Amino acid sequence: KSWQKARSKLDEEISSDSDAESPTFGGKRKKDNEADEIEETAQEKKLRLAKLYLKQLQEQEAEKAEEKALEEDLVAGRLKEDVVSRLLEGEELMDSGLQPPDTAAIRVLRGHQLPITCLVISPDDKYIFSAAKDCSIIKWDVESGKKLHVIPGGKKGTEAQHVGHTAHVLSMAISSDGKYLATGDRNKLIMIWEAVTCKHLYKFTGHRDTVTGLSFQKGTHQLYSASHDRSVKVWNVAENAYVETLFGHQDAITGLDSLSRECCVTSGGRDGTVRVWKIPEESQLVFYGHQGSIDCVQLINEEHMVSGADDGSVALWGLSKKKPLATVRQAHSNFGAQGLEQPYWISSVATLLNSDVVATGSHSSSVRLWKCGEGFRRLEPLFDIPLIGFVNSLKFSNAGDFLVVGVGQEHRLGRWWRIKEAKNSICIIPLQRTVAGSAQPADGS
């Protein structure tokens, strides 16, 4: 409080000087000046004290700025340590070596009548929510594999009476606190559910075509949705409110993902672009690389993502470059008669968050796991997991100890092929790593 004392002293001195200049004390003032000729005048004293006051104010402001900078450095340091720690944990997972799972340990959950189209895992890894072309939603217990709740699908034309979907459910998301579940369908609707009880809360309308992508911003109840109408919409689920609409894609949007930042990524199908939408800045970054329709996209961390297309390619991206850091052509090989070969479409991708592990799915009779090379500039195959059917959805558990696969006889977006021998089912695949010569469950938490 030194500047306050200086200001108080300045006021007292000015008041004293004013009194000294009055007629009552004029004689005494004259005598003092004669006794000490070097004594400063009242005006000089005012100027000196004013300068002192300003100097002390500047020192105070400098101290405050220094303290603020130190505090910001400490916060930035803690954030950096946290990010590095997460990345190192992810690298540690791979350094210890993921191993092909025992196929006998894969659990198959049956409940949907038609192909599974999407699924999510609860933040605590205890529950799986899945949806299918039969318009139903099922909540599963991971440990027992039992159905905990079934939200049946309704028939076309019963929208007014039926609580639930009456068209193919193609997208799904769960909030990071496990409170809300969001589902989107071919009827342009987004349904919001209470995840614990599966109670229907409300529906969002506004899209003009099929809702193909949903994702909650981590740590919030802000929901992003993408549609074949080429738009991205932002919603506040806690407030049951629409926020805004974003435009940019030139074709139907096929996939969407987001993490903690206030932005989302989308795959634009036939327009050949992946886009990053920066919500506060109202801007977008456009990325080019695939030759076919980009059907799926997932963030690996806040700076990198992976996408898959129907030209059979898988691409790794960094947000600082408009072209892929790495591309694998014919990632799941080819099929067809000699001379008429075509690549297996990449129908789904998944990432183990903040690690270097990626999974891709097609209808090539296997799920393929990959390792991202140094700097995310290479994509190296690790091993295949045999699975018959279209792999329409892939999700790693949050702890990284299992992978969930949604399998169907058909592709989630159409009926181009039908694999009769496939089972419409949920597969839970345990992941293992080798540590000091012994296999242990993987843990990326």
Whole-number pLDDT of residue 57: 87
Poorest-pLDDT segment among 19-28, 74-83, 397-406: 19-28
Q: What is the pLDDT of residues 365-386, one digit of tens each?
A: 999 999 999 889 999 999 999 9
CB atoms within 10 A of CB 10: 17
**What value does the mean pLDDT take over residues 164-190?**
96
Average pLDDT along the chain: 86
Q: Is the pLDDT of residue 140 over 90?
A: yes
Q: Is the pLDDT of residue 9 over 70?
A: no
Closest CA to 181 of 155, 216, 156, 206: 216
Whole-number pLDDT of residue 94: 44
Q: Which is it for the CA torsion 170, 205, 156, 174, positive or negative?
A: positive
State phi, psi for 165 to the nearest 5 degrees: -90, 150
For residues 12 and 136, the model is more confident at 136
pTM over 0.85: no
| Token representation of residue 323 | 């072209």
Whole-number pLDDT of residue 435: 53
Poorest-pLDDT segment among 144-148, 386-390, 416-420, 421-425: 416-420
Q: What percent of the chain has pLDDT over 70?
A: 82
Q: Report the Cα–Cα distance between both ends of the chain, in Å, rounded.
A: 49
Whole-number pLDDT of residue 11: 59
Q: Is the pLDDT of residue 398 over 50?
A: yes
Whole-number pLDDT of residue 338: 84
Q: Is the pLDDT of residue 434 over 80?
A: no
Using alpha carbons only, give the angle 192, 214, 295 rounded to the nearest 5 degrees: 150
| Separation of CA 80 from chain center | 18
Domains (range + CATH), the chain: 98-216+280-433 (2.130.10.10)
Whole-number pLDDT of residue 38: 58
Q: What is the pLDDT of residues 293-348, one digit of tens each?
A: 999 999 999 999 999 999 999 999 999 899 999 999 999 999 888 888 899 999 99
Whole-number pLDDT of residue 45: 85
Q: Is the pLDDT of residue 362 over 70?
A: yes
**What value does the mean pLDDT take over residues 402-422?**
88
